[in-house]
Structure 1
Amino acid sequence: MKRAEELELALEPRPRNLTLQRWLCGELRAAILAGRLPPGRRLPSTRDFARQQAISRGTVVAVYDQLIAEGYLSSTTGSGTTVAAALPIAVTARRTQAAQPAATGEAVNHARLSRQGRLLAGSPFLSREGMALGRPFSPNQPDLSAFPHALWQRLSNQHSRGLRPDDMGYGEPAGHLPLRQAIAEHLRYSQRISCHAGQVMILASAQQALDLCGRLLLDPGDTALVEDPGYPGAARLFALTGARVQGVPVDRLGLCTEALPATPDVKLAYVTAAHQSPLGGMLPLERRLALLAWAEASNGVIVEDDYDGEYRFDGAPLPAMKSLDRHDRVIYLGTFSKLLFPSLRLAYAVVPEWLADAFASAISLTTRHAPIFPQAVLASFIAEGHFARHLRQMRRLYGERAACFQHECRTQLDGLLTVLPIAIGLDATALLPQQADDRAVAAALGQWGIEARPISFYGMGQPAPPGLVMGFSACGEALIRRGVATMVPVLESFGGSASAPGNAG
């Protein structure tokens, strides 16, 4: 056995953001937890260890003292410093778990979870949302380079300079009143929604809104209806309540209202009326009226998720279905993640009068309220007209990119996929040949730096055409052309062949 003075540990290089003391503490802890320094192993003297690592003896003394205090090391006069024979219980448990095979550990961990916990842990939703920025054609991505950064910074500075102690406490659960007033005013003109600030709830995301809708409106055994194919985040959140989630078929126009069940246990229906996700249809008036009539007859509630309906390219945005609601059956959701930028983490829900107090109470219990400072900046951004101006500019920019994407796909990918008409939103839906495996195609495109989401990712069981959802909004025209060109050999490798450019229709 080597004498302690001759023991030299293989340590990882020190990151620049860590002090010597924190780095060395971490390295010794890791060596003990991994078993490279077993119980009873004697460590070098502080002088020898300092010499080996070319650091001051005072740093080593501080590290040894810290690890002795934490229970990793022990020290006795005349015997030097050794790894503790009896490690703390939590450390011993981690070492035992680390020794188990990964699959067994995962199974054990999941067995400890609740039913809701297993549903959350098994969800692929967040990992699929973490798609790479800067690669064509990531879905749901606004062009962050086109955002008025200097203007936003100026407004932020104004609010920072005017910050008072009274502004630094807790706020209203429903959100910053000036922002709620600004949103209500904007919706009156843009979506023809007649509402007041008391019905507007500010949240961190549309996901939070959906979560609270499920908790407030669904009991175990109830039924929630969702589009199929449709947004998977809604279905998974509703399932957490113990409700039965039932898919309703979708066609090129959106939710097939003739397929709505007339059973008393249906309490909620989720719909993306302005821009169906993922097939892209805009729900026509007759279906909107039919859905509202169904809700009234079944005593149900409609959750209308308008995630990017502000971006309509061939006219003003269509009035929201909430604007047709005469019986307080519709909860209208909107988000600033796609209208401004995702890290803002602000969204809103316009709820019926009868639900407002309960919704605010639920926010108070779960998150208390969304951060006040960005709400105040956003309220000024809207009230001063910058928001409406930004939306007009982005509609024009995204409309040009949508036209470019459609043209390049018709020219270069004719015979390989068919892009459905793009009238609204940040993404395009492209259909593949009927026999294609869209998940395999999406994975192959990813190997070539192309982001695309398979339509089958959105499915719950209803037949859906194979295809891809691709975002064009964050891509300049040169990147669109290069991205489409990159797709050609990948799609041809799945058995198709592109038509000659002159034959593209």
Structure 2
Amino acid sequence: MTSTVTFFDHRADFATGTPRYRQIYTRIKNAIYDGVLKADDRLPSARALAKEWGVARGTAEEAYQLLKDEGYVLAKGPLGCFIHPHVKPRDPAANKPLPLLSSDQKANRDQAELLPFQMGLPALDAFPRGPWQRMTQRLLREMLQAAYRNAPRTGLTELKASIAQYLSVSRGFDCLPDQVIITGGYRHTLSLVAQALGGEGKAWVEDPGYPPTRQLLQALGFTPVAIPVDEQGMDIDAAYRQAGDAKMAVVTPAHQSPLCCTLSLKRRQALLAWAREANAFVVEDDYDGEYRMASRPLPALKHLDQDDRVLYMGTFSKVLIPSLRLAYLVVPRAQITHFNRVFLSLYDSQPTLAQKQVAEFMAEGRFARHIEATRRLYKQRREQTVSGLLAVLGDYLTIDPQPGGMHIIARPRFIGQASIDDCKLAQRCIKNGLYANALSTWYTAQPQQGLLMSYTNISSPEALEEYANILKTKVFGAH
């Protein structure tokens, strides 16, 4: 039997600086983690919650929508919203607490204004605005009234077909359009995978690795097991020793995030052998596999997958524009029905116009040409950024050699001083209008020090010299 949960003990005392809908979302999510809200508990209506908390109804609806999008809440039509049965309270003994973000790191992560060295963004000045605008205007003229409605829940047929064709040519593996599910970004995709695989068990994650991966898996019931990464990528032998009975492995084989090394062929084969023997799945996050500068892009790990154990994740945020919020998941053929069923029970479709824009862009051949053009541009900008920074800051930092990727790793030479660490340096960067992310925050054990900085939007040597001098005087304190 379900019960409606009330929040009269949680009347909002809202903090400044954070949107109210997100504060409501955070309080409800924390109540789930703490066991205050339990599986199948019914939440009050958005109208009742708004009245109770003294906010606009739209604010409450936005908080609920975010909870639904991330899989914490399940909407059952006129019956209302319920805590999803797959979401479990946090087990305080399962994992040590993840480090909290400092205020400077939060500003770093959520920065709305584009800062020099901003991570996670393609070259915005290289986006073909003119052709994109003309294509969009034509699509709007041609679209019938029916086409303005929601797209098919798992994605437009023409976009799925374009993605399948692109992957065959660019990433070296074949798939059916029906294997492709269109999602709303990395968290959306990984949430779908975690829900479809049962939401429990151990999961190999890279150490260092993208922090939201550990956090999201843990929130959805998995136990992340941090596997060390060296110059050949994830150490599969260490993974066997630590958690051979894991249910899933999440890897970035093309350019390990954040170290940018490539998973070696021997380890790729060992990883796939483990998945076959353990009846487990490998989640391949190919977030920027197209951008290899040392040679032509390597085929995806999925290219070697003879047993259909690889779930392939791709995104348009890193190659087009992040505001599209479009990504995709390629599922094994035997899992199409299961993943579709899970998706349809939890998620809505992505905007029709955005999907049509990308599908048309790919069908016209502009997508492949854009990637080729940006690959050349990124090689130039990376070389320019590395040489420019070392010319000014050679006494203060070194820069790792990398085969590709969309960021650099700068390692301060005097990082061993007790009074200086990469978190403090990253905070100084933010305070002085530059972006940097502390490498140590990506580790769970034996953290290394460094600054992660993107070069994709550094468009001129003159601008780079200005930024390098700010780093030298304001961040490193040189005179």
Shorter-chain TM range is: 0.7 to 0.9
Deviation at 1:204, TM superposition (A): 1.1
2:206 corresponds in structure 1 to: 227
Deviation at 1:300, TM superposition (A): 1.2
Cα distance, 1:127–1:488 mapped onto 2, change above 3 Å: closer
Cα distance, 1:288–1:411 mapped onto 2, change above 3 Å: same
Q: For the residues of structure 1 that align with 2:437 and 2:156, how far apart are their CA atoms?
A: 36
Moved more, 148-157 or 124-133: 124-133
Moved more, 145-154 or 129-138: 129-138
Cα distance, 1:320–1:363 mapped onto 2, change above 3 Å: same
8 Å CA contact 2:236–2:270 kept in 1: the answer is: yes
Cα distance, 1:169–1:134 mapped onto 2, change above 3 Å: closer
1:306 counterpart (282, 286, 290)? 286
1:145 corresponds in structure 2 to: 125
1:451 corresponds in structure 2 to: 435
Aligned partner of residue 373 in structure 2, secondary structure = helix
1:466 corresponds in structure 2 to: 449
* 2:381 is equivalent to residue 431 of structure 1: no
Deviations 1:350-399 (A, max 9, x none): 11112222222222222221112211111110011100111111111111
1:167 counterpart (119, 139, 147)? 147
Q: For the residues of structure 2 that align with 1:374 and 1:100, how far apart are their CA atoms?
A: 35
AA partner of residue 169 (structure 2): Y
Deviations 1:311-352 (A, max 9, x none): 112322110001010001111111111100000111111111
* 2:345 is equivalent to residue 376 of structure 1: no
* 2:395 is equivalent to residue 415 of structure 1: yes
Q: For the residues of structure 1 that align with 2:401 and 2:302, how far apart are their CA atoms?
A: 25
Deviation at 1:255, TM superposition (A): 1.2
8 Å CA contact 1:218–1:241 kept in 2: the answer is: no
Q: For the residues of structure 1 that align with 2:190 and 2:357, how far apart are their CA atoms?
A: 25
Deviation at 1:155, TM superposition (A): 1.3
* 2:459 is equivalent to residue 476 of structure 1: yes
Q: For the residues of structure 2 that align with 1:121 and 1:456, how far apart are their CA atoms?
A: 13
8 Å CA contact 2:162–2:359 kept in 1: the answer is: yes
Give the structure-2-normalised TM-score. Answer: 0.77
Aligned partner of residue 371 in structure 2, secondary structure = helix
Deviation at 1:265, TM superposition (A): 3.8
Moved more, 321-330 or 110-119: 110-119
AA partner of residue 290 (structure 2): E
- Ranges in structure 1 where 5+ consecutive residues have no aligned partner: 1-89, 499-505
* 2:269 is equivalent to residue 294 of structure 1: no
8 Å CA contact 2:191–2:220 kept in 1: the answer is: no
AA partner of residue 261 (structure 1): Y
Count of matched residue pairs: 399
Moved more, 266-275 or 426-435: 426-435
Deviation at 1:285, TM superposition (A): 1.3
1:398 corresponds in structure 2 to: 378
Superposition map of 1:174-323 within 5 A: 174-220=154-200, 222-261=201-240, 263=243, 265-323=245-303
2:33 corresponds in structure 1 to: 115
Q: For the residues of structure 1 that align with 2:140 and 2:370, how far apart are their CA atoms?
A: 23
Q: For the residues of structure 2 that align with 1:99 and 1:370, how far apart are their CA atoms?
A: 31
2:86 corresponds in structure 1 to: none
Q: Any runs of at least 4 consecutive aligned residues in structure 1 with deviations exceeding 6 A, and if so which?
A: 99-102, 116-123
Aligned partner of residue 282 in structure 2, secondary structure = strand
Deviation at 1:217, TM superposition (A): 1.1
Moved more, 477-486 or 128-137: 128-137
Deviations 1:472-504 (A, max 9, x none): 1011123222212211124533xxx79xxxxxx
AA partner of residue 455 (structure 2): F
Aligned partner of residue 328 in structure 1, secondary structure = coil
8 Å CA contact 1:142–1:340 kept in 2: the answer is: yes
Cα distance, 1:253–1:432 mapped onto 2, change above 3 Å: farther
Deviations 1:98-156 (A, max 9, x none): 49999xx99x9579711187979997597653235432111111121211111111111
AA partner of residue 350 (structure 2): A
Percent identity, aligned pairs only? 33
8 Å CA contact 2:276–2:309 kept in 1: the answer is: yes
Is the radius of gyration larger for structure 1 or structure 2?
1
1:485 corresponds in structure 2 to: 469
Moved more, 268-277 or 354-363: 354-363
Deviation at 1:208, TM superposition (A): 0.5
Q: For the residues of structure 2 that align with 1:111 and 1:474, how far apart are their CA atoms?
A: 36
AA partner of residue 178 (structure 1): E
